[in-house]
Amino acid sequence: MSASENTLALQHIDAEHHLHPFTNTRELNARGVRIIESAQGVYLRDTEGNRILDGMSGLWCVAVGHGRQDIIDAVSKQLSQLTFYNTFFNTSHPPVIELSRLLSTVTPSQFNRFFYTGSGSESNDTIFRLARYYWELMGEPEKQIFVGRENGYHGSTVAAASLGGFSSMHRQGGLPIPGIVHAPQPFWWGNGGDMDPDTFGRHVAQQTLQMIDEIGAHKVAAMIAEPIQGAGGVIVPPRTYWPELAAGLKQRNVLLISDEVICGFGRTGEWFGCELMGIEPDFMTLAKGITSGYVPMGAVAVSDRIASVLLEQGGEFAHGYTYSGHPAACAAAIKNLQILQSEKLVERVRDDIGPYLQAKWRALTEHPMIGEAVMEGLIGSFQFTSDKAARSTFPAEAKIGLTARDLSFQNGLVLRAVGDRMVIAPPFCLTHAEADELIEKVQRVIELTYAHARGLGLIA
């Protein structure tokens, strides 16, 4: 069978039997799905033999790069020794014990206890229950309301999707569930109007605190936010936003949940995004980079302040997943964390490859169609604009971002589109030469998209 016959056969079966996440499967089936067959380092290979630079680390997760034999061996060894045992009913096992110890050493000092899940979504649903339970134990059962943010993403399970601020998700399945409100996002380029970024950052923080005051802080359990919004388009808040917001939450005794599913484990050049922003959360949501995606895993980091109340005043927390602390996932996470430490990959993101890529990335704004280009560590985005000075966007029907995404794939680079914002989060092992290749490809995609937009008469 030729490569294209093989692709067609696989596409046919996929179309017949597979429902894809966040996908219009009818449209996908009409087009034919792309099939990724193997990957090594920062490169993917599809069934047509195309080599594609993985600018998205799989889906923001493969931090150490694809195909590391040491992680594969660690998982394999663990599976041979103890394939599965649960962590309920008075039992534990060595890999989950070692991972918990290791996490307490890499997370900020207030975090010393960890609850395990299978994903970021499950972690956020866990926090939703834990935070309410905490306030009940504290004798403040009225503190029930959660504050999320517009265009925040916290997962697809019922509480997580409700905490998130994607209206497209809320429209399906009767979400959000009660007890959740959404504050504005600190997206200066899109929403800042005439304000300078610092004024806007303080303004959005104050709007959020005002929302809480209107509800009554005695009814508000917690606020959840990503240090840098990921799936919402890599929105880096103005530097004034976090200090103002975090101080206001503390004053009002509202817990802060830092959703570190994307920002955590070195992505921003610090171990955790909250450290980059200088904030001290009560909970952290962990997933993705915890295992570099080699095996699914999520976790909740619980601060000492919360844990002491749960342990001293609480009883059984009636919550848990079959795969809470799965031995193979723990083995992958341990080896992954050891690699981050021994190869100094977080420092590499902060001091070497991060700044190297950032300089070239920020220079993309020299192009007339690029409104802003931001990057912290190795997480970045750029914004297509029809008019730079007016910061105006293209009509949604023009699908500029999706066009750019497809052009990018065709040119051997995975870029993700969020509306007309293109986002990137490459593996930490990216070399300088690979970063140069990435930028050359991005420049080509921008030129092609520019020609496309001009052809449509969308830009002068």
Of these, 65, 95, 148, 155, which contacts ligand PXG (CB under 6 A)?
155
Taking CB under 6 A as the rule, does residue 125 contact ligand PXG? no
* CB 230, min distance to ligand PXG, A: 5
Given the complex with ligand PXG, which of 153 and 294 has the nearer CB atom? 153
CA distance 328 to 84: 8
Give the CB-nearest residue to ligand PXG: 120
- Total interface residues for ligand PXG by CB under 6 A: 18
CA distance 333 to 323: 14
**Mask: binding to ligand PXG, 249-268, rule CB under 6 A, as x and -?**
----------x-xx------
Q: Which helix (H) or strand (E) holds 39?
A: strand 36-40
Q: Across 287-400, where does the E strand assignment appear?
A: 298-303, 370-376, 379-384
Of these, 181, 255, 287, 417, which contacts ligand PXG (CB under 6 A)?
287
Write the DSSP symbol of residue 217: G
Taking CB under 6 A as the rule, does residue 439 contact ligand PXG? no
Taking CB under 6 A as the rule, does residue 230 contact ligand PXG? yes
* CB 228, min distance to ligand PXG, A: 9
Hunting for tokens 């299978």 — which residue is that? 118
* CB 440, min distance to ligand PXG, A: 24
* CB 154, min distance to ligand PXG, A: 5
Nearest-CA neighbor of 63 among 337, 357, 284? 337
Question: Which amino acid does the sequence have at 357?
Answer: L
Site for ligand PXG in 329-388 (CB under 6 A): none
Of these, 10, 33, 59, 177, which contacts ligand PXG (CB under 6 A)?
59
Taking CB under 6 A as the rule, does residue 274 contact ligand PXG? no
Hunting for tokens 């680079």 — which residue is that? 413
* CB 348, min distance to ligand PXG, A: 23
Paired tokens of 64: 């150490």
Three-class DSSP labels, 106-126: HCCCCEEEEEEECCHHHHHHH
The piece of 118-126, 184-192, 349-357, 440-448 that touches ligand PXG (CB under 6 A) is 118-126
Which SS3 state, helix, strand or coil, does residue 266 take? coil
Tally of CB atoms within 10 A around 451? 12
Of these, 121, 336, 393, 403, which contacts ligand PXG (CB under 6 A)?
121
Taking CB under 6 A as the rule, does residue 153 contact ligand PXG? yes
The CA-based dihedral angle spanning residues 279, 280, 283, 287, taken in that order and rounded to the nearest 10 degrees:
50
284's CB contacts (< 8 A; 6+ apart) are 107, 111, 257, 258, 259, 260, 264, 272, 274, 300, 301
* CB 1, min distance to ligand PXG, A: 32
CA distance 290 to 298: 7
Taking CB under 6 A as the rule, does residue 54 contact ligand PXG? no
CA distance 435 to 353: 8
Phi, psi for residue 418 in degrees, rounded to 5? -125, 100
Taking CB under 6 A as the rule, does residue 58 contact ligand PXG? no
Paired tokens of 397: 């029907």
* CB 157, min distance to ligand PXG, A: 7
Nearest-CA neighbor of 169 among 357, 364, 19, 21? 21
Taking CB under 6 A as the rule, does residue 202 contact ligand PXG? no
The piece of 23-31, 117-125, 206-214, 313-321 that touches ligand PXG (CB under 6 A) is 117-125
Taking CB under 6 A as the rule, does residue 231 contact ligand PXG? yes
Taking CB under 6 A as the rule, does residue 227 contact ligand PXG? no
The piece of 47-55, 107-115, 151-159, 397-405 that touches ligand PXG (CB under 6 A) is 151-159
CA distance 22 to 361: 28
* CB 196, min distance to ligand PXG, A: 28
SS3 content of the chain, % helix, strand, coil (to 5): 45, 15, 40
Given the complex with ligand PXG, which of 133 and 153 has the nearer CB atom? 153
Binding site for ligand PXG (CB under 6 A): 59, 119-121, 124, 153-155, 226, 230-231, 259, 261-262, 285, 287, 298, 416
